[in-house]
A and B are shown apart, each in its own frame.
Chain A
């Protein structure tokens, strides 16, 4: 595996920081940790073709790992409950030292549980004139034939949307 250059890490860190602040999110101010996490995201992009969470065991199959592509589907819930996301790349403005030094539980359902959830989401009897799509990263909802190419709120890609109603 190629070692990611420090310049590339710095550049991507600044990009993530700008995007995060613009959208009301915050990166961890522990710069050593944050740069390690950014490096790992780039490593995973090279390895798997997508930026899988550095602290989770990726399958190597994008369909199976969509929920843990950074920012993961669990980030906002963990920010609300623990002041940080699972790997601690993202933190809430109110995060305390305690939040950042203790590990938090894994919220991602097991492989079996994820499979069951996917099967449950097949039918959507609806009296609405259009389907409603939900961004699984930030919760943005929109009523249209297809989800947008990119979430207008958090910039997640189309494949992160689920049919909500």
Chain B
């Protein structure tokens, strides 16, 4: 699967599910870049057709509305939509 890695300081395990044409997903990536944290992301609309079901099930585990951006933190906390303040708050609490 085409998961991209972005280097940065460790702030837990961050996985972002995004849509390539969505400006709110783009704002989320820009914010994570600005915060300089390490994260992974996948643009779900660009995955090959044969992998769509797999990635859909993966996202639905965290967000049954299948909406984007969906940010999963340490496999336990989920932030749905571009919630700038909440993302800042949660990542601030993560150790360097």
Q: Could you list which residues of chain A lie within 8 angstroms of chain B, going by C-beta atoms? A: 33, 36-37, 40, 43-44, 54-58, 87-88, 101-106, 108, 110
Please tell me which one of the listed residues A43, A101, A106 contacts residue B67 in the complex, with CB atoms under 8 A apart.
A106
Please tell me which one of the listed residues B19, B21, B80 contacts residue A103 in the complex, with CB atoms under 8 A apart.
B80
**CA separation between A44 and B68, bound complex, in Å?**
16
**CB-based nearest A residue for B23:** A36
Instruction: Say yes or no: is B62 at the interface (Cβ < 8 Å to chain A).
Output: no
Please tell me which one of the listed residues A57, A87, A103, A105 contacts residue B66 in the complex, with CB atoms under 8 A apart.
A57
Q: Could you list which residues of chain B lie within 8 angstroms of chain A, going by C-beta atoms? A: 19, 21-26, 44-45, 64-68, 80-84
Which of B19, B21, B67, B83 has the largest count of A CB atoms less than 10 A from its CB? B21
Residues of chain A contacted by B19 (CB below 8 angstroms)? 54-57
- The reply to whether B21 and A54 contact each other, CB–CB distance below 8 Å, is yes
**CA separation between A40 and B67, bound complex, in Å?**
17
Please tell me which one of the listed residues B45, B80, B83 contacts residue A57 in the complex, with CB atoms under 8 A apart.
B45
For the complex of A and B, list the 6 residue pairs with the smallest distance between their C-beta atoms, beginning with the closest. A103-B81, A40-B21, A106-B67, A106-B65, A55-B22, A36-B23
| Contact residues of A: prevailing secondary structure | loop
**CA separation between A88 and B68, bound complex, in Å?**
14
- The reply to whether A58 and B45 contact each other, CB–CB distance below 8 Å, is yes
**CB-based nearest A residue for B27:** A33
**CB-based nearest B residue for A52:** B21
Please tell me which one of the listed residues A44, A54, A56, A105 contacts residue B23 in the complex, with CB atoms under 8 A apart.
A54
**CA separation between A106 and B19, bound complex, in Å?**
14
19 A/B residue pairs, CB under 8 Å, sorted by A: A36-B23, A36-B26, A37-B23, A40-B21, A44-B21, A54-B22, A55-B19, A55-B21, A55-B23, A55-B24, A56-B67, A56-B68, A57-B19, A57-B45, A57-B66, A58-B45, A103-B24, A105-B67, A106-B65
16 further contact pairs, Cβ within 8 A, besides A36-B23, A55-B67, A103-B80? A33-B23, A37-B23, A40-B22, A54-B19, A54-B22, A55-B22, A55-B23, A55-B68, A56-B67, A56-B68, A57-B45, A57-B66, A102-B81, A106-B65, A106-B66, A108-B65
